[in-house]
Structure 1
Amino acid sequence: MGIKLIPILLMTLLLNFSNSVFASNSKEVIPDLPVKATVSTFNDGTDNYLSLSYKNYPHWHTYWKNPGDAGLPLMYFFEIDGKKVTLEELEWPVPKKYIEEGNMLAFGYEGQYSLFFKLPKKYSNGSFKIKSNWLVCKHICIPGQINFSGNIRNGNIEQLEGATLEVSKSTLLNQLKDLPAKRDFPSNLDIVLAKSVGDKENKLTLYYNLSLEKPGKFNLEKNLLTPYPAGPFTFVREKVFIDSKNNLYAKHTIEWDGEYMEPEIPLPLSGKFKKPYTLKFLYANPENGKVEIIEHDIHTYSLTAATRFEKFTELLKPLEAKSVIKTQVKTEIPKAESETSLFSYLLLAFIGGLILNFMPCVLPVISIKLFSLIKNRNEDRSRVLKHNLSYTLGILSTFSLLALTIILFKGAGEQVGWGFQLQSPTFVLVMIFALFIFSLNLFGLFEFNTPGGSHLGDVKTKDSFFGDFLSGVLATVLSTPCSAPFLGAALTFAFTSSNSIIFLVFLFVGLGLAFPFLVTGFIPSTISFLPKPGMWMEKLKKFLGLTLVLTTLWLMDVYSALIEDSTELMLKLNIALSLCFFAFYLAKHITKSKVIKAISHILYLSLIVNIVMTPIVPSVGDSSSKLLNEKNSKGLAWEKWSEDSMKKYSSTGQLVFIDFTAKWCFTCKVNERLVIDTDKFKNLVEKKNIKLLLADWTKRDVVIGNWLKKNGFVGVPAYFVINKKGELKNLGETITISEIRESLN
């Protein structure tokens, strides 16, 4: 590819993604109130009820108890006379089935709908506060919240504040009547749980068939069986078949998530569970056209039945809905400020990317690039511009690849966040050797067109625009362990939005990261303040090499935390790095023999291959004990985070500080050095008797990932406190002692 094409490709990349986003969203709006809500009380002639009623903006949907492949269910919290209370919940309304962008399955609600609770006599008088949260989606997803307050007198609400909707009693009575009812398990429905075909760990399949005496009224726009949440089972997707006699058959793929629970629950190899699990479903009864609730106890799963069932279903005709609701609906909606809102998030992404240039994780590579600018400052303007455009193209290409990877993971139902690639031991291993070899080049052990555009060894070589491109790639990869101000809001917006917006937000982060070098490319005089080239640059090279060695040591610590029984692998890794050093040192200073050079390189390359081929088992179970022990060794008593521990302390009024962190998170380390590891923080903890909870996201953890997403984060760090009222306070990504102290009140 000719270098003249780089500016063209760069602009084409931006324009294509910009046009795709604004074309797809030009008629899509973000309404001021995507969800309106109110609270009501009423009597149906027998019992007193409290209802939470919602009304979504046209074609926007919220989520059912089981949201599907993504999304978050409606949530609510009650206080009466200042005390947290739990009201008996009735069944939720029957949800609709959606196929969201990226073929994501979801269950949820459109239009107007209500949740119902029994209101006992002891709560018929008193003041109340109610909070409800939701995630509402269409072309993007937006988290929402509403707070109600008022008084209940003789079962009736007075002085209601916070409501944005009105619902009549007749509407509530009709909605109450339409709630799904429980029935006995159908005698003509057979269910078998089996280990999935193939060598798939923790994969199960639920097979079921329904025998019908005559053609039924099965609605293909619904599941035959829609599962309620049932940990440790995560239901993925149902597929329905029919035979020549109109009997229905179906299979529902399931992931066993017991390994992510606390304590860990492994899938029993014998096929027999220690205790039976009760699975609850919405049953779309084809015989009467109603949706009913059924339950089935599972004691065992078959180790062999899947093969037989799979062969049988190959002979059947699959049934597919022709009109399952799509969330990307073209609709004429009044003009709103969607483009302004999107622009605001893109601006945040750009500013966050710009700030990343000053974060410690990126400084080694940025320093090398500055070294290049100094070295090439006397070249003509067009050549300097091409160097910097190559660097920018490397950044934008890598951010585009990251965005594509995230979209693919989301499409597969996986939970990912900012810096997710550093949760992969293999990726971290590759980065260790790449950075170490770059550092050897900076120390002058071999000549190589490194990031920066020219050799950094002892012999001058030709400038390399490809080297600048690699520099941009490396800067992007090393930026992801860091989080910057403004970046968190933009990334949360992206991760809960459409695929095109994910691409656009990531590209604007990349533009922010590359912006200083774009400015110096177009206006070379901006680097006039930098010193002129000289012998001092040789010393600077060695210093930059040292920074890459230190970065390599940090990645080795991350790698050790990601794997179990790491002693043997870490020994091999250290030996391989030593052999790598001696191979380059030997070639530079000791021998000119090509045979000896080849043998020396083969030695460490063989060991690298051996490390790569060794099965790497990601840490599961109590894998956070290393980081927990490290934190405890600094004089404070940290406990492993769990939602149960949060609930326990919240119910007793105990003050709690919660730290979501990871070994690979540079911003976490900075916050620890400036705040958490200081005497001021220690004194505050001791003075106020604060409990400390640590959530370690060094490795992939579905529970932590889901909790972070539910609370508006797509990565770490994230800090929270629970005050004396039991309220959870979000402190964001950066903290100060005064901010922590104030939030505890």
Structure 2
Amino acid sequence: MLYGNNQDKTLDYGPKRGEEVKSLLQGLITICLALGLTSLAEAKELARVEESHSTLVIDADMQSVSPGQPFWLAVTITPRSGWHSYWKNAGDSGASPAFDWTLDGDATIGEPQFPVPRQLPLGPLTNYGYDAPVTLLLPAKAPVSGSSLTASLEAEWLICEVECVPQVTELSLTLPVGEAKPDGEAQAIFNAARAAMPDPSFWSSDLTVGAKDTSLTVYMAPSEAEEVADAYFFPDGVGVLDYAAAQSLERASDGIKVHAKRPSGAPTAETAAGVLLLTYHDGTTDAFAMEPMLKVTADQTAPQVAEAAPVVSLPLWEAAVFALIGGVILNLMPCVFPILSLKAFAFVSANYKTAANRQKEGWAYTLGIWLSFMVIVASLLVLRAGGTAVGWGFQLQEPVFVGLMTLLMLMVALSLSGMFNIQFGIEGAGQSLAAREGVRGAFFKGILAALVATPCTAPFMAPAIGFALTQPVLIVLMVFSFLALGLALPFLALSYSPALARAMPRPGPWMEKVKEGLAFPMYLTAAWLLYVFTRETGAVAMLVLLAAIIGIVFAIWIGKQSGGRLPVRILAWAIAAFSVYSIISKPWQEPAHTAAEGYVEEIAYSGAELATILESGKPVFVYFTADWCITCKVNERIAVLTDTTQQVFRETGTVVMKGDWTNRNAEIAAVLAKHGRAGVPLYLYYPVGASAPIVLPEILGPSSISNLIANQKG
């Protein structure tokens, strides 16, 4: 083990002595654990609580304590297999355990001391915690007078796998006060817990926090620094560093430095304390509790969004070249790749088209892309001139556009699958194919390619677009024209290639099978757009869009049955128009309801308030929800915040209470646990005179609440 010295930063104990000290301590810990192993299971527990996903046990290192004597408590949290609990700084998400003690007299119980945490990566996030049983140590002091120490505890801790389940308990414990008597059977618990704690550091150190970077400097002798192979710093407080970013080790002449990134917009760092985990070249590790001096080198609280966007400076020719190259590379991006199925049609039909027709289609495809780009860029410039903050791909931020694009891509896919016919340029292969049809198909493919390309950014595109949007209109149009040309260039170049035309196989029945197979990338594009639409609008809007899709398919089917009859065709067009209108009209957007509009005023949930209302003899409906709960929001739209349900509430005098669990709330967590729920939603109805509620299902229908209240009233 390495130690430094505050007074002499170059004091060198050397690797050999460090190993001897480490071996001695490890031997002592092993002997202590071995001596206490047989008595560990027999240690007298002060309290034990079995929760849904974990167990909490409290032990004391004394069977009885003398008046005013300090002693220790151990709180052990054992999560369910595969789940984890959290350190005092939970990292990117999660929550540290919270203990609220109520004590008699002048007894005290201090803040918990945590063992060395582990990194718990979850996708792009990194949390700090424990995926095994963990024991926290709490310093305590007995009361000066009295024959016992009595303590009540309200404890809350979070247990997570991918989902998280709050664990909440209330308990009391009693410890005799009189003659001091250690609990020998519990010593193994405390020895193991102390061995897992970080060692105190004897090194001087400082923590430098900048706007974007953080650096921990630990002053130690060069020989000590050489023993360190890697280092990681766990900060006690928030705003110090980016938890998910990698940390790097640097050896300096006066010790080691640990460098870390700091996220933009992070809160102000108020403490430099933390745990430094050192890994040595032989694979062993040591952890040290650090108390560095905090140094701030930049204004951490400066608003990030208030800064003016930097102006990209490029020569005009370089911006044009970047745009052209970026457009070519854009053909390989995931958002454009499905359109390659449409381009493939033109290639497989190339050997029965004249060179002139192939070249016309190539330029028609280019024109479709260029015109689409110009419309999009013109719209972008108009919106920006009006003060709206939009950027490239802004149209996919508009749910109506995304919904209509979903319908369009689905229609293209259905056409390719053979449900109905859209002229793409190879229908009727082997027959007399009018050049006009091929040109139309190529132009349409160009429009589609431009529309689906805009959410993607390829290499070289970003500096070109960033430069263009700071320039006069003519330069903007020129740069985006090169971008459009780059996107069209591969197809345009191939349309001038006689060798490609000769290489294509002769038309035949196989082409129909290829066309049907190439429909599936279009289905995937529609599925991706449906996902984007749902993320932007929510589950109710997704249901509207799915209904519109079914309406479009139904209209196509009716049209195919028409046999040329005008009334049937009009009906098909009417269904299709109504389906499109259902997206344009945004029926999923509902105005906020207020009591003035006839909606019952809600009361924030409180157990005490609920008891008071029940005593007054009124029926109560309580619903527990959260902003991040999709099921909750759907239920509220179709069952809770409806005219019918609200009218029933008014007519029956039902009091409505809302428990908002968007943020952690111990009282709501306790109610959820009481009713066997790991999370929201939860719906409770208390009839008049009832002390126990009726629990409604998690998925509600439009009449679930009104029917229940009517049945109880009857």
Q: What is the TM-score when the length of structure 1 is the normalising length?
A: 0.36
Q: Which of these two proteins has the greater Rg computed from alpha carbons?
A: 2
Quick one: higher RCO (CA 8 Å, sep 6+), 1 or 2? 1
